[in-house]
Structure 1
Amino acid sequence: MTALYTGGCQCGSIRYEIRSQPLTLYGHCTECQKQSSSAFGMSMAVPREAVIIRQGQPKEWSRVSNSGRQVTCSFCGECGTRLFHSPARNPQIINVKPGTLDDTRWLQPVANLWTRSAQKWVVLNEQMLNYDEQPPDFSQLFERFRDRQ
């Protein structure tokens, strides 16, 4: 199967491709504020086996998320760009950091997570799914994303 999406880090040391449609796309706060040095970050869930590293080898470190679950974070060891998050709660999924995609024009998140930690100036879109914390499951996010396709 050929790549549906391609991406990589800022310096070009790591290149990847995704060989499946995403499952969902969402924005959120808290840890991603530190990780992105911004007000929020985005995550694009895809089947783990669909992500193929074509060049370079990401470095990894693990942390416990605000939900209390283990997450392995992958990044470029040269430029530090965050590429993927691998949640221990669901080993079939990898969360791609979609700002690393070569084409980001189509990105349109369907949800916001951890909104209780949003910066006061962030205006949440009421048409999106909004959760104060981690949702109990991601079925509504998957459904909403599928409906937009």
Structure 2
Amino acid sequence: MTVTGQCRCGACRYEIAVDALPPVYACHCHICQRVSGSAFSVQALVPEGAVTVSGPIVTREITTDDRTSVQRFCGECLARIYNTNTRGPGIAVVRAGTLDRSEELVCKAHIFTAYKQAWVDLPEGVPQWPEMAPTEQFVAALRG
């Protein structure tokens, strides 16, 4: 099975070779708020090798103190499709809103909630952390 998605204008399409829609998480950090222009961003973690993109992709490498991230954008509308980074080799961080069936996604976790907007109410029972979650707990939440 494959899961499909596209950029805003449709010039870039992608497929992810996975068995089902991937679990997603919301990040409420200030960087994600600024990049998304919203209260948080929603991502799916998938194996990098499972992602196949067609269309005009442009990349931008961003280096910070603790990692280098390679962002992939549509070359036409500049919608951000996914990124990889040196802290998670082999993992693609796909922007959940670009998935064709995004309305079917279930948010499994919330991170960096110390920075969430006051008007955002998080559902009870969904794991959440004020900063980055410990890796084992985060992975378990996404699988759960």
8 Å CA contact 2:57, 2:72 repeated in 1? yes
8 Å Cα contact 1:24-1:142 kept in structure 2? no
Of 64, 83, 86, the match for 2:84: 86
Deviation at 1:64, TM superposition (A): 4.2
Deviations 1:34-76 (A, max 9, x none): 11111111110001100011x21321112246x8432221111
Aligned Cα root-mean-square deviation (Å): 1.9
- Taking the aligned partners of 2:114 and 2:36, their CA distance within structure 1 comes to 18
Correspondence list, 1:36-47, <5 A: 36-47=36-47
TM-score (norm 1): 0.85
Instruction: Look up the SS of the partner of 1:91 in the other structure.
Output: coil
Letter in 1 for 2:26: G
How much has 1:85 moved relative to structure 2?
A: 1.8
Q: Deviations over 1:59-117 (max 9, x none)?
A: 1112246x843222111121121110212111110011010011112211111111111
Aligned residue in 1 for 2:138: 141
Instruction: Mark the runs of 5 or more structure 1 residues left unpaired by the alignment.
Output: none
Identity %: 34
SS of the residue 1:130 aligns to: coil
Contact 2:56 2:76 in 1 (8 A): no
Number of matched pairs = 142
Residues 1-149 of structure 1 mapped to structure 2, 5 A cutoff: 3-21=1-19, 24-29=23-28, 30-53=30-53, 55-64=54-63, 68-137=66-135, 139-147=136-144
Unaligned runs of 5+ in 2: none
SS of match in other structure, 1:140: helix
